[in-house]
Amino acid sequence: MHIAFYDTNPDSFDVWKTAIQKQIPDATVELYPKGNSLRAGYALVWNPPEDMFRYMPNLRAIFNMGAGVESIMQMKSLPNVPIVRLIDNSLKRSMFDYVDYHITKYKMGFDLCKMQQRQHTFKVPSNPFVDRDPIIGIIGLGQIGRYIFDQLKEKHRIFGFKRTPDQYQYPIPLLGRNKFYSGGFDGQEFQQFCAVSDIIVNVLPLTPETNRFLNKETFSYMKDGTCLINIGRGEHVVNQDLLEACWSGKLRHCTLDVTDREPLHYGHRFWNSMWIDLTPHIAGRYDVDSMVHELALNIEYIKDDDDVETQSYHERGY
Residues forming contacts to ligand OXD in the complex (CB under 6 A) are 66-68, 284
Nearest approach in angstroms of CB 284 to ligand OXD is 2
Q: Quick one: 107 or 163, whose CB is closer to ligand OXD?
A: 163
Contacts of 119 (CB under 8 A, 6+ apart): none
Task: Please tell me the distance from the alpha carbon of residue 1 to that of residue 187, in angstroms, as a whole number.
Answer: 49
Nearest approach in angstroms of CB 68 to ligand OXD is 3
Nearest approach in angstroms of CB 125 to ligand OXD is 32
Nearest approach in angstroms of CB 177 to ligand OXD is 29
Q: Quick one: 48 or 66, whose CB is closer to ligand OXD?
A: 66
Q: How many CB atoms lie within 10 A of CB 243?
A: 17
Q: Using alpha carbons, list the distances in angstroms from residue 204 to 95, 174, 207.
A: 13, 21, 9
Nearest approach in angstroms of CB 314 to ligand OXD is 18
* End-to-end C-alpha distance for the chain, whole angstroms: 27
Q: Quick one: 140 or 284, whose CB is closer to ligand OXD?
A: 284
Using a 10 angstrom Cβ sphere, with 0-12 exposed, 13-18 middle and 19 or more buried, the burial of residue 207 is middle
Task: Please tell me the distance from the alpha carbon of residue 158 to that of residue 144, in angstroms, as a whole number.
Answer: 15
Q: Quick one: 48 or 68, whose CB is closer to ligand OXD?
A: 68
Q: Quick one: 48 or 284, whose CB is closer to ligand OXD?
A: 284
Closest residue by beta carbon to ligand OXD: 284
